[in-house]
Structure 1
Amino acid sequence: MTRPFDPRALRSAFGAFATGVTVVTTMDEEGRPLGFTANSFTSVSLDPPLLLVCLARTSRNFETVTTARGFAVNILADTQKDVSNTFARPCEDRFVSIDWSAGPCGSPVLAGTAAWFDCSLRQVIEAGDHAILLGRIEAFENSDRNGLGYVRGGYFVPTLAEKAVSAATEGRLRLSAVIERDGAILLFGDERKILPGCDVEGGEPLGALQAALEKLTGLPITIGFLYSVYEDQKDGRQHIVYRAFAGEGAPGGGAFIPLGSLAAQSFDSPATADIVTRFSSESLQGNFGVYFGNETSGRVHAIARKA
């Protein structure tokens, strides 16, 4: 007999898989557009052209979507976080502030997306507390825009991290991470706390960081999205900091310090103190960003707001 799982723990584990962000749209019987944000989307087949999305049975759109003639899947571009949030939250008319038009097969397609697929509904498959909508692609359009990413409850822009690492590898590079778990972050050091990380010279930076963090902590580590990129003019190194997530178990090094206790800590540098302070504040707001600059001044680009 299969033992029951804690639904929240299972949902969190599913959230470790980085996905794109889509808005699924259709028309109701009266010709009104409706849509919702979904990341449970995948391609199925090229011949015939098929894709699928999953829809919770508790969704207020369930009956309309599962009985409609078809639906569209809009893959959001990395500039469309606001669109994602609009379709993820309860709203009387989600389309009132959105630029959209009817697709070739009638479902709404949104402007500015990375790609869209207008589908006929081929089959609805019962799947526990969800239903799988199998759609046949009748029309599609692909732009040159990059897609918006989502992992561990936050947005990320994949190409932003790639460009940062590429630029940084021209000089001396220090990679580190804000490792979080259950409202605390993992810090090393006795009197003066530091972020765990490693120096990198050549090779694959993220692979090196992953190996270093797991060796330092003795824990399974999932690296999330970019958090801070800055040049330290004192030590002549480029610093790249990621958010990361620790698995269960006692750490083999360092200690988890609750976010509420961070103000009482001393750090190895003002830059580390700024990173930790910002992370604590953004965690409370659920609104994360990426810092670009040097060790004393720069700008935070807000790119990761929890839906």
Structure 2
Amino acid sequence: MSAPNLDPKALRDAFGAFATGVTVVTTRDAADKPIGFTANSFTSVSLDPPLLLVCLAKSSRNYAAMTEAGAFAINILSETQKDVSNTFARPVEDRFAAVDWRPGAQGCPILSGVSAWFECAMHEVVDAGDHVILVGRVLVFDNSGLNGLGYARGGYFTPNLSARAVSAAAEGNIEFGAVLEREGEVLLLGEGPMTLPACRGGDGNPTDVLARYLEELTGLSVTIGFLYSVYEDKGSGFQHIVYRAFAGEGEPRVGRFIRPDAVRAGEVKDQSTADILARFALESSIGNFGVYFGSETAGRVHSISTKGPRP
């Protein structure tokens, strides 16, 4: 898409392809009241001097307090802190009542249970279009060693869960599958019984293998999203790793897009496929997705919310 015709929503979606961590930025306002907001537009800048930055929308209700603050803190959330991210992303009256925190050396709120935190002196405020860039000079920090919470394409993910999934399946026969979605519908193959698209594991990154297979199969552009289901079929001995995936526009070469809640169990090849479709229909309706680990008959869903951080 060329510069004169940029679609803001499409541009935001494209920016969202870059996976980031999730932070809560905190300070105190002129009345010494703690304030904070969720942000994923954070990066390190320099080791000497020790600088970092975070971006803040000029439309934010925290704009005046943050740009006038002499100090602020960056709290990098751990993979168990999705609720904390959601709390600081929403217009809650007293966000700090819902979390455990303490004041840092400069008085900035430091949240408990985070992966790492940095308390900074305000080094510079840089104008940047509809945002400002807050550059902080690190005064003190701590690193807990906990795994961080990830965010990309409008949803949270936990890198450790994904790594565990691939590692668990590495020693057996692997099949990569996809819930390939578009506008609330899912691609199913065959007339009856129908199946989700899947391919046998090969050399290379699993998501690359799956993306190539799906694009060759359908003739559509495909983006692989996050891990959705990992289960062992004890009868066949196969490990199944299923990802969410997103299809571009056009008519698929094979199969058809169907609303998952319109598919009955007897119309698909097995109970595992029926379970995936039923769970996807439910999670889509409430906007709260998860990752399933287990077998074809029993397991556990690790909840991962899709209500995410705002810049």
TM-score, shorter chain, exceeding 0.5: yes
- Calculate the aligned-residue CA RMSD, in Å: 1.9
Displacement of 1:217 in angstroms is: 2.3
8 Å CA contact retained: 2:24, 2:85: yes
| Residue 123 (structure 1) aligns with | 124
Q: How does 1:1-307 map to 2 (within 5 A)?
A: 2-201=3-202, 203-263=204-264, 266-307=267-308
Mean CA deviation greater in 61-70 or 238-247: 238-247
Secondary structure at the counterpart of residue 97 of structure 2? coil
8 Å CA contact retained: 1:105, 1:138: no
Count of residue pairs brought into register by the alignment:
307
Q: Distance in 1 between matches of 2:6 and 2:262?
A: 32
Q: Deviations over 1:41-93 (max 9, x none)?
A: 11112222111111111111111101110211111000111111110111111
Mean CA deviation greater in 253-262 or 176-185: 253-262
Displacement of 1:289 in angstroms is: 1.0
Q: Distance in 1 between matches of 2:10 and 2:121?
A: 35
Structure 2 counterpart of 1:137, one-letter code: V
Q: Deviations over 1:164-184 (max 9, x none)?
A: 111111111111111122222
8 Å CA contact retained: 1:263, 1:277: no
8 Å CA contact retained: 1:41, 1:51: yes
Displacement of 1:303 in angstroms is: 2.2
Structure 2 counterpart of 1:95, one-letter code: F
Displacement of 1:236 in angstroms is: 1.6
8 Å CA contact retained: 1:169, 1:202: no
Displacement of 1:235 in angstroms is: 1.5
Q: Distance in 2 between matches of 1:265 and 1:126?
A: 59
Report the CA distance shift for 1:179/1:133 in structure 2 as closer, same or farther (over 3 A): same
8 Å CA contact retained: 2:29, 2:35: yes
Q: Which runs of 5+ in 2 are unaligned?
A: none
8 Å CA contact retained: 1:174, 1:200: yes
Displacement of 1:201 in angstroms is: 4.9
8 Å CA contact retained: 1:172, 1:201: no
Structure 2 counterpart of 1:185, one-letter code: V
Structure 2 counterpart of 1:169, one-letter code: A
Q: Distance in 1 between matches of 2:205 and 2:69?
A: 47
8 Å CA contact retained: 2:45, 2:52: yes
Displacement of 1:24 in angstroms is: 0.6
Displacement of 1:119 in angstroms is: 1.1
Q: Distance in 1 between matches of 2:278 and 2:46?
A: 47
Q: Distance in 2 between matches of 1:94 and 1:269?
A: 46
TM-score of the aligned structures, taking structure 1 as reference length: 0.94
8 Å CA contact retained: 1:287, 1:304: yes
8 Å CA contact retained: 2:27, 2:35: yes
8 Å CA contact retained: 1:191, 1:266: yes
Q: Distance in 2 between matches of 1:128 and 1:60?
A: 17
Secondary structure at the counterpart of residue 43 of structure 2? strand
Q: Distance in 1 between matches of 2:128 and 2:173?
A: 51
Secondary structure at the counterpart of residue 167 of structure 1? helix
Q: Distance in 2 between matches of 1:254 and 1:43?
A: 46
Displacement of 1:260 in angstroms is: 5.0
Q: Distance in 1 between matches of 2:265 and 2:301?
A: 24
Q: Distance in 1 between matches of 2:15 and 2:249?
A: 15
Give percent identity, aligned residues only: 60
